[in-house]
Every structure is written in structure tokens, then in C-alpha cells.
């Protein structure tokens, strides 16, 4: 199952090969082939309905691909139990969908699924990492939109993922909250070395955050490469 590539084998976290999905009467994504490397942010841009979310959902197998596969650290992801796969490849959506209760309980959710428990110190560290020190016993129902989204980042990070999938994580936020989340995304890549796949319709945001970009149209990758070239071609 391991297909090492000379030179950069260590740095490739996800290798996506000919990935596609169609449903009766519609091709959602087809022939997607690309890599995600350690510490980088890869932007996926494209017009509404071009299949960005559909592609992202294939990467943690929330939907089943109808062609191709993804290699996670060299292993075909169909060989990895889905729950373990999703622990390793975290996801943050446009809306945070926090579970009712306290912030700390939300952070515990992922580890609890495997029978583990975060210590108070670990919770504090995760919250400090997203700029929300002291929020552990706050009820999620009275957080601002930006705070809620940062809690959902901390909740995904609590699983110690090897990569993060982000689907329009700032598009429901105002300017100030958006800048906070952008800063956070930069830190996740630079300080933790966790690569991010960032779906965004905002080309300027892609240019601010990503090193490389894929442009999707009609479910197909029409351009890819370093972010400036891919976006301004």
C-alpha cells in the first residue's frame, strides 16, 4: 500500500489520486489529483456550485468516492477505519455546530469517542491556542460567532489531527472575527505544522493564507500551482 516518492515522501501527508464522486445524473467531482504537504495551506477556490465542498467531504470520507482514493501517509484511506481516519483528518465547517453545553465539553467530544479524556491543562492550552483562555466553563449558547468558530477549531485540534479540512471557515463572520480566524489558520500551519486544505470563495483570502491553490470548475481542477500563479492566470 505504500508508494514512496523519492525526495519528498516524508512531507506528503495526503496524496489524492483521480478522486471523484458522481450521484445518479450528476458528476460532483472528477479526476482530482493533488498532494497536501506538511505545514502548508492549500486553497481550493472556484465559483459557487463548482464542487469545492463535495471534494473536501471526500477527503475525510464523509462521502464515498466513486473513483480514485486518498493516501494518508502512504496508506490507502479505505484501509483505515473511518473513525480513525476522521480523527487524523479533522474538519471545520462554515458554521461551528457546537454541541449544547460548556466549551470544555465540546473540546472533550473527540477524545471521548476513543475513551480518552483531556486534562484541564490540555483544555487550557487548546483554548489559549485559539485566543480563548478562560472560556472552558462558558456555555456555548452565549458565544459570539467568531468565538464559536474558534471553539470549533479548538475542538478539531483536540483530536491531534495530522491535517485539517476547512470549508469556508470565515464566510459567516464579520471583518474582525474573520481576521482572528485567519491569524489562527496561519498559526496552525506555521506553529503546529498541521497542513490545512482551505475551501474559500474569497480569492484575496486564499492569497493571504495559502502557498498553493487549486481552481475548481464544474467538479474538475482547471488550474493548480503556487497561489499567485494559479489565481491570476
Partner 1 sequence: MLKTLFHSQLQLGLAQAGVAALTALLVVMAAARRGIHLEKDLAIAMARGLVQIVAVGSILLLLLRSPSWTSIFLLIAMIIAAGATSARRAKGMPGAFQVSTWSIACGAGSVIALMTALGVIDTPITALVPVGSMLIANAMNTNGLALNRFRSDVLAHVGEIETALALGADGKSSVSPYVQVSFEASLIPAIDSLRSLGIVWIPGLMAGMLLSGARPIYAAIYQFVLLAMIFAASGLTSLISTLLIRARVMSPAEQLILRPGQ
Ligand X SMILES: Nc1ncnc2c1ncn2[C@@H]1O[C@H](COP(=O)(O)OP(=O)(O)OP(=O)(O)O)[C@@H](O)[C@H]1O
Report the run of H or E that residue 10 belongs to, with start and end.
none
Could you tell me the smallest distance in angstroms from the CB atom of residue 91 to ligand X?
14
Grid coordinates belonging to 61: 470520507
Instruction: Work out the number of other CB atoms within 10 angstroms of the CB of residue 7.
Output: 7
**Cβ-based nearer residue to partner 1, 97 or 233:** 97
26 binds, among ligand X, partner 1, Mg ion, none (CB under 5 to 8 A by kind): ligand X
Minimum CB separation of residue 206 from ligand X in Å reads 13
Contacts of 105-114 with CB under 8 Å at 24 or more apart are 106/140, 106/151, 106/152, 106/155, 107/136, 107/151, 107/154, 107/155, 107/158, 108/158, 109/155, 109/158, 110/155, 110/156, 110/158, 110/159, 111/158, 111/159, 113/83, 113/87, 114/87
Which 25-84 positions form the footprint of partner 1 (CB under 8 A)?
60-64, 82-84
Q: Which of 3, 8, 18, 26 binds ligand X (CB under 6 A)?
A: 26
From candidates 41, 50, 53, 106, binder to Mg ion by CB under 5 A: 53
Residue 87 is a binding residue for ligand X (CB under 6 A): no
Cα within 13 Å of Cα(171), Cβ side: 16
- From 31-39, 41-49, 119-127, 151-159, span contacting partner 1 (CB under 8 A): 151-159
Site track 7-46 with Mg ion (rule: CB under 5 A), x = hit: ----------------------------------------
CA angle 153, 198, 122 (to 5 degrees): 20
Nearest approach in angstroms of CB 18 to ligand X is 18
**How many other C-beta atoms can be found within 10 angstroms of the C-beta atom of residue 102?**
16
Residue carrying C-alpha cell 485539517: 164
233 binds, among partner 1, ligand X, Mg ion, none (CB under 5 to 8 A by kind): none
Please report, as ranges, the residues that interact with partner 1 according to CB under 8 A: 60-64, 82-84, 86-87, 90-91, 93, 95, 97, 99, 109-110, 113-114, 155-156, 159
Q: Which residue ranges make up the site for ligand X (CB under 6 A)?
A: 23, 26, 28, 46, 48-54, 201
Amino acid at each position: 500500500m505504500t508508494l514512496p516518492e523519492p525526495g519528498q515522501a516524508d512531507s506528503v501527508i495526503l496524496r489524492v489520486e483521480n478522486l471523484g464522486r458522481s450521484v445518479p445524473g450528476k458528476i460532483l467531482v472528477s479526476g482530482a489529483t493533488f498532494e497536501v504537504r506538511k505545514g502548508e495551506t492549500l486553497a481550493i477556490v472556484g465559483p459557487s456550485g463548482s464542487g469545492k465542498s463535495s471534494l473536501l467531504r471526500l477527503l475525510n470520507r464523509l462521502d464515498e468516492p466513486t473513483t480514485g482514493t486518498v493516501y494518508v501517509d502512504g496508506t490507502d484511506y479505505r484501509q483505515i477505519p473511518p473513525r480513525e481516519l476522521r480523527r487524523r483528518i479533522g474538519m471545520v465547517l462554515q458554521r461551528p455546530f457546537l454541541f449544547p453545553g460548556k466549551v470544555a465539553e465540546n473540546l472533550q467530544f473527540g477524545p471521548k469517542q476513543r475513551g480518552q479524556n483531556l486534562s484541564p491543562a490540555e483544555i487550557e492550552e487548546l483554548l489559549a491556542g485559539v485566543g480563548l483562555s478562560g472560556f472552558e466553563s462558558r456555555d456555548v449558547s452565549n458565544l459570539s460567532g467568531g468565538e464559536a468558530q474558534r471553539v470549533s477549531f479548538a475542538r478539531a485540534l483536540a483530536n491531534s489531527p495530522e491535517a485539517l479540512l476547512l470549508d469556508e471557515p470565515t464566510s459567516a463572520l464579520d471583518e474582525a472575527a474573520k481576521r482572528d480566524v485567519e491569524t489562527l489558520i496561519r498559526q496552525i500551519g506555521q506553529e503546529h505544522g498541521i497542513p490545512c486544505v482551505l475551501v474559500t470563495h474569497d480569492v484575496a483570502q486564499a492569497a493571504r493564507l495559502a502557498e498553493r491553490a487549486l481552481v475548481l470548475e464544474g467538479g474538475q481542477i482547471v488550474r493548480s500551482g503556487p497561489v499567485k500563479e494559479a489565481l491570476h492566470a
